[in-house]
Amino acid sequence: MTQVKKSLAYGIDFGTTNTTIALVAGDRRARTLGIDKEAADASVLRSLMYVSPQRTFLFGAEAVEAYLADVAQGEQRRKKLIYTGKHFKMGKFSFVAGYVGEEWVPLILEIEEGTGGRLLQSLKSALSSTMLREIDIFGRSVSVEELLSIFLGEVKRRADELVGGKVDSVVIGKPVHFVGENDEGAVKRLRKAAELAGFKEIEFEYEPVGAAWDYGLGYGNNEQLIFVFDFGGGTLDFSIVKFPERKILGTGGLPLGGDLIDSQIFMSKLAMYFGSEARYGQNQMKFPMSIFEQLRSWYQISLLKKESFLGTLEDLRYKCTDLKALEALNSLVVNNLGLALYEEIDRAKKELSFYTEAEINLCAKDIDFSEKFVREKFESVIAEDLAKIDQEIAETLKVTGVKAEDIDFVVTTGGSSQIPIVRKRLEKVFGAGKLRSQETFTSVAVGLALRAAEIFG
C-alpha cells in the first residue's frame, strides 16, 4: 500500500461500546469511513474482538456472530490443568462453616481448550486499572496495550484500505475522566497501543470537544456559548465552548455511562432470577455478593466459566432455598448467555426512551423470565446517577465562571443522552428549547477529524 500525503490524518472516537473513524478529505469536508460492512451502520464498529483458540481475531459484527455461534453450539469449554510443581499457603474455606484453618495447595494454571473462542469487550475501561496489566488468552498472557493495538490496528487497516494508502497521523478522543479516573496512566497506555497499531503522529483531544467541533460545522460562525453533553456507553463528558473562536472554557465529566446503567438495571430487576435472594447452607447464608459483582457485565460473566466457579455453584446447592435460580445462574455462565442477557437489558432500556414501559425477556436452558419494566422504575434506578450529573454540571459551570442562563445551546451526543429523564433535567438546568442533538454515534469522530486537519494539516 502506497504512502498517502502527510497532511491526511484520522480522527478516532474509540468508545467503550462503539468505535468510529473519520477523515477530512481534499474538499475539506469531514466524513466517516465505513469500517464494518457487516454492521447495520457500516460507520460504527462495536468495540469488541473475538479470539479463537488458534489466536485469530475477528472484530465488530463478525466477532458477535462468531461468539453467538459458540453459544448456539452450547460448547462448554474444557480446562487443561498444568501443575507447576509449586505450592502456596491459603485459608481453607467451607461454604457451610466458613474458614477452618490453612492448607498448602498446588499452584495450577488453567488453560482453556476446545473449539470455541473468547469475546473481549470494554477494554477501554481497563486502561486506567493499575491492577489489570495482562489478560490470559488461551494460555498466553497478553498486555492490555497489545490487545488494544490489535483492535486499533484493524481499525487503521480497514480505514487505510478505504483511503487507498497509509495514514499515520491521528487524533484520538479521550474522556474527561476514564473509568477508574487514572487519567494520566490511561492516556499513556492508549498512546502505546496506538504506536503498536502503526500510528506515527498521535494527539489526544477530549471527546466532548470533538462533538463541539462537529457542531461548529453548521453553526460555529455565530457568536454563541455551547455546552456539549456527551453521554456514551462508558463515560459522561462535557465541555463549554465559545464560538466562533472555538475556545474551550472548561470541561467536566463522570465515569458513568450506558454500561453501568445496564448493570444497575440487572441488579435491581433481574438478579433475583439468578439467586440474589436465595439462601444456602446450615446457617442459611445469602449467596456471596462477589458472585453478583461478577454478573454486572456480560464480559465478566464469560470469565466465570472455569472449574473453580462451577465448584462454588455445587457448594451452594447445600440446603439451597431456590434451586431454580441456582440452575439459571449455572446456565447463564456455562452456556455463555451473558451477552444475550445484557443485549436484552439494553434493548428494553432503549425502548423506554420511546414508551413508558417495556418487557425484559430471556428464554434459554434453565432460564425463563419476563419482567415488566416501567419508565418510572427505571428513573428511580438511576436517581443517584442523575443527582451526580446535576452536581457535576453545576461544578463545571462554577469553575468555568459561566451561568446556566448564559449557555445558548446544549449539544447532546452519545446513546445515553437520549434518555428522556436526562433530557428533561438538562432542560430544567439550561432552559427549554436549548437542546440540540448531534449524530449519536459519529459526531465525536467527525469533530476529531476536523481537529486532526488543524493539527497536522
The domain 10-204+449-454 is placed in CATH, from the list 3.50.50.60, 3.30.420.40, 3.30.565.10, 3.30.1050.10, at 3.30.420.40
Give the model's pLDDT for residue 262. 95
Give the model's pLDDT for residue 113. 46
Give the model's pLDDT for residue 96. 40
Give the model's pLDDT for residue 112. 42
* Average pLDDT, integer, range 315-340: 93
Which residues lie below 8 Å from residue 144, measured CB to CB, with a gap of 6+? 123, 126, 127, 129, 132, 133, 134, 135, 189, 193
Give the model's pLDDT for residue 362. 96
Above 50 in pLDDT, residue 92? no
201-206 and 224-231 strand pairing: unpaired
* DSSP codes, 173-204: EE-SS-TTS-HHHHHHHHHHHHHHTT-SEEEE
More confident residue, 406 or 255: 406
Candidate from 73-87, 125-139, 159-173, 405-419 with smallest mean pLDDT? 73-87
Candidate from 38-42, 92-96, 195-199, 300-304 with smallest mean pLDDT? 92-96
Confidence of residue 93 (pLDDT cuts 50, 70, 90): very low
Above 70 in pLDDT, residue 110? no
Q: E strands of 114-159, at which residues? A: 118-121, 134-137, 140-143
Residue 87 pairs with which residues in a beta bridge? 106
If one counts every other C-beta atom within 10 angstroms of the C-beta of residue 405, the result is 9
The single-letter DSSP state of residue 17 is S
* Average pLDDT, integer, range 220-249: 85
Q: What is the mean pLDDT of the chain?
A: 85
Above 50 in pLDDT, residue 131? yes
Angle, to 10 degrees, between the axis of helix 183-196 and the axis of helix 144-163?
50
Whole-Å CA distances, 282 to 15, 88, 286, 316, 318: 47, 30, 11, 11, 8
Give the model's pLDDT for residue 213. 85
Q: How far apart are CA 211 and CA 214, in angstroms?
A: 5
More confident residue, 308 or 87: 308
- What residues does each domain of the chain span? 10-204+449-454
Q: How far apart are CA 240 and CA 61, in angstroms?
A: 35
Above 70 in pLDDT, residue 125? yes
What predicted TM-score, i.e. pTM, was given to this entire model? 0.77
More confident residue, 429 or 217: 429
Q: How far apart are CA 454 and CA 7, in angstroms?
A: 10
Structure-block grid coordinates of residue 393: 454540571
Confidence of residue 296 (pLDDT cuts 50, 70, 90): very high
Burial of 268 (0-12, 13-18, 19+ CB in 10 A): middle
* Average pLDDT, integer, range 90-119: 49
Candidate from 87-101, 119-133, 257-271 with smallest mean pLDDT? 87-101
Confidence of residue 73 (pLDDT cuts 50, 70, 90): low
